[in-house]
Chain A
Amino acid sequence: MRVLIPGISGGIARQLALHLHARGHQVAGIDTRPWAEAHEAGIQLYRGDVRKRAAEDVFRRWRPEAVVHMATVTAFTVPGKERGRINLDGTKAVFDHCAAHGVKQVLFVGRHTFYGAAPDSPLYHSEDEPPRALEAIPELADLVAADLYAATALWRLPKITTAVLRLPYTLGAPGTGTLSSFLKGRRVPLVLGYDPLFHVLQEEDVVTALTLALEKQVRGIFNVAGPPPIPLSVIVRETGRTAVPLPAPLLSLLLGRAGLPRLSVGALDHLRFPIVVDNRRFLDATGFEYRHSVADSLRIYRESAPILPAGSQGR
C-alpha cells in the first residue's frame, strides 16, 4: 500500500513510517521539519507545509492510497493562532487533497483530550460523547474542531474509508508527547487533593495500533488505549520524579517557574480530573493487544530520561 504521512518528522510518525516500510508498504511523508535519515531508510520526505500548493502536488504525483494525518500540534509545541491554522486548515487541506486525488483511506490521529477533564463526566468516555469543559482550556479548541471536522468525512466523503483515532498520552524512550514533556524535570507538580487517572500507551504500541487500523481498514471513530489507567502520582513516582503537590491557586502562579513545567492555567483541570477512554470498539474492530504494561512503559521512560543527581545537571 502507498501510505502518505503528513507530519512524518514527529517522533511517533517516524516510527510508524519505518514500521510500515518494514512491513512492505511504500511510505512517503510531508513535513516542514527535517528527517535526515528518511531517504536512507527508503522513505520519501517532501519538505513543506501541508497547507501549501506543493503539498497538493505530492498527492497528485505520488498518488497515495492511504493517508495517516499526523500533522497536528498541541499548545506545548506551537503557541497562539498559528496552532489553530495548522490544526484546522491543515486538516481541511489533507481531506480536500484526499478527495481530489483518489485516496481510498484516511486515518486522522487525534487525542483523547478531546473529551475534556470535568468533575461530572463519566470516568470511561465512549466515542459517542461530546467534548466537554472546553471553556476551561480554550487552547484545545482547535484540536477538538479538527477532530470533529475529520469525522465529517465519514458522511461527506463516503468513498474514503475514514477513521478518527483518539490516542491517549504516550511515553517512549523517552518519547516526544505531552506527557513526556510534562515529566521532563526533576519535580512534577500535582494539584493538592487530586490525583487523576492517566491512560498511558507506549509508543511502540501506538505504532502497532495505527498499523492495525490501517491494515484492517477500519471506518468510524475509535478510542485507542492500552493498559488500564493509573493515578498520576504513580507515574511520577515510578519514573523517578518527585511529586510536588501544591494548592491549585499557588500552582497556577508557579507554572513555568521554580523548575516546574510550563502549562496553561486551564490545563490544571487535566491534573485534577481524569480523562479515561473506553477502547472496546477499537479492540473489537482490530484485535489490538498492547505489548507494554504500564510498569514497562514507566521503566523505559525512567531509564531513558533519568534524573541526574543534584548539581550534575547541565555538565
Chain B
Amino acid sequence: MALTDSLEARVDRLELPFNEYGVDPYGISKSHVRHALRVFGAIYRYYFRVRCYGVEHIPPRGRGMLVGNHSGGVAVDGAMVLTSTMLEMDPPRLAQGMVERFLHNFPVSSLWASRTGQFIGLPEHAKRLLEDDRLLMIFPEGARGTAKLFNERYSLVDFGTGFIRLALQTRSPIIPFAFLGGGSAIPTVFNAYTLGKLLGVPYVPLTPYLLPLPLPVQLDIHYGEPLMFHGTGDEEDHVIEGYVAKVKQRIAGLIERGRAQRHSRRAGRNLLP
C-alpha cells in the first residue's frame, strides 16, 4: 500500500522543473497537484481501497506510456491511476493523461485539468511530453471504452493505433495496465447520448440508481512488464496493428489475472465465519 510520507512531501519530491512560483513549463502547479492529491488520495485509500500491483514496472525516470483499459463510465480509472503513481512510486511520478476535448471546454474542469497536467489527447501534446521524458497515461479505447455497460465491464473495445506510432517515434516503453472494478463502481446500464449532447459531453452514463456516482467498490490496478517496440512510426498499418494486438493481449491477460485474484479474494471472504 501507499508509502508513509505525507502527501505534501510526495508532491515536493516530484522531479518536475517547477519555477519560483511552483509552476512547471506546462502550467502544472504544485499547489493544485497537492490539493488534488489530498482529495484523490483519500478516495484512493479509504473509499475505493485501491490495490496496486506491479508498480515497479513503471520507470522511475524518463519517458514512458501507461496504456490500459477503461473501466467505469466516468474518469475514476484515470484519476486512480494517476493517484497510484503519486502514492505508490518512489520517487513519486505524475502521470499525465491525454483527456477528452470537452474537459477543457468547461470552467473549473479546464483549470484543474491544466494545472494538474491533464491535456487534450493531441499528438502534439503526447510527442512533446514524451520528448520531455514525462510519464503519459493513455486509454486507447477512447470514449468508446468509458461507454462500456456493466455486463461488458471486463471486455476491451477496439484500440486506436496512434499510441503505437507515437511510442515508435519517441522510442518510449509502453507499460500495460489493467484497471478492475470501475465497471462495478459505476454500473452503467444505459448511456444517454442525447442528454450528453445537450450538456456538451459525449454521453451521460446512467446507473440503476440513475446518477453515475461511484459505489465504494474495491478497485485493482495491475501494471505489467514494459513492452518496447522498435521502428520509426512510419510502418505499414498491418505492422502497427500487430503491435497494437500485442499490447491489447497483454492488457487482456492482466485483466484475467486480476479477475481471478478478485474472485479468489471474494471466495476467501465467503469462507470466513
**A residues with CB within 8 A of B:** 119-120, 122-124, 126, 191-195, 197, 227-231, 234, 238, 247-248, 272-274, 278, 293-295
Contact = CB atoms under 8 A, between A and B. Distances in A.
B107 A122 contact: no
A120 B119 contact: no
A124 B124 CA distance: 8
Given A119-B105, A123-B26, A193 B19 contact: no
A229 B105 contact: no
Contacts of B19: 227-228, 230, 294
A120 B120 contact: yes
A294 B19 CA distance: 9
A192 B104 CA distance: 14
A16 B125 CA distance: 35
Contact of B115 (A195, A273, A278, A293): A195
Contact of A194 (B20, B101, B110, B122): B110
B260 to A, nearest CB: 41
B27 A274 contact: yes
A235 to B, nearest CB: 10
20 contacts: A120-B120, A120-B122, A122-B125, A124-B124, A124-B128, A191-B107, A193-B107, A194-B111, A197-B114, A227-B19, A228-B19, A228-B24, A229-B25, A230-B21, A230-B23, A231-B29, A248-B107, A272-B110, A273-B110, A294-B19
Contacts of A195: 111, 114-115
Contact of A234 (B23, B24, B104, B110): B23
B26 A194 contact: no
A124 B101 CA distance: 16
B267 interface: no
Q: Kindly list the 3 A-B residue pairs having the minimum CB-CB distance in the complex, ordered from nearest.
A: A193-B107, A228-B25, A122-B124
B272 interface: no
Instruction: Report which residue of B101, B106, B110, B115 has the largest number of chain A beta carbons within 10 angstroms of its beta carbon.
Output: B110
Contacts of A197: 27, 114
A60 to B, nearest CB: 46
B124 A193 contact: no
B271 interface: no
Contacts of B20: 293-295
Instruction: Report which residue of B26, B108, B125 has the largest number of chain A beta carbons within 10 angstroms of its beta carbon.
Output: B26
Given A122-B125, A123-B125, A231 B107 contact: no
A128 to B, nearest CB: 10
Interface in B1-41: 19-21, 23-27, 29
A126 B125 CA distance: 12
Contacts of A194: 107, 110-111
Interface in B191-231: none
Contact of B119 (A123, A230, A293): A123
A133 to B, nearest CB: 13
Interface string B63-82: 00000000000000000000
Interface in B81-140: 101, 104-108, 110-111, 114-115, 119-120, 122, 124-125, 128
Nearest to B25: A228
Given A228-B19, A229-B27, 5 more contacts: A120-B101, A193-B106, A228-B25, A247-B107, A295-B20
Nearest to A227: B19
A226 to B, nearest CB: 12
A229 B122 CA distance: 20
Contacts of A230: 19, 21, 23
Contacts of A227: 19
Contacts of A228: 19, 23-25
A269 to B, nearest CB: 12
B123 to A, nearest CB: 9
A230 to B, nearest CB: 6
A122 B128 CA distance: 10
Contacts of B108: 193
Given A229-B27, A231-B23, A295-B20, A192 B120 contact: no
Given A123-B27, A228-B25, A231-B27, A193 B110 contact: yes
A27 B176 CA distance: 62
B182 to A, nearest CB: 26
Nearest to B29: A231
B203 to A, nearest CB: 19
Nearest to B101: A120
Contacts of A278: 128
A312 B111 CA distance: 36
A123 B119 CA distance: 8
B110 A119 contact: yes
Contacts of A294: 19-21
Nearest to B21: A234
A13 B108 CA distance: 39
Nearest to B122: A122
A305 to B, nearest CB: 20
Contacts of A193: 106-108, 110-111
Interface string B222-262: 00000000000000000000000000000000000000000
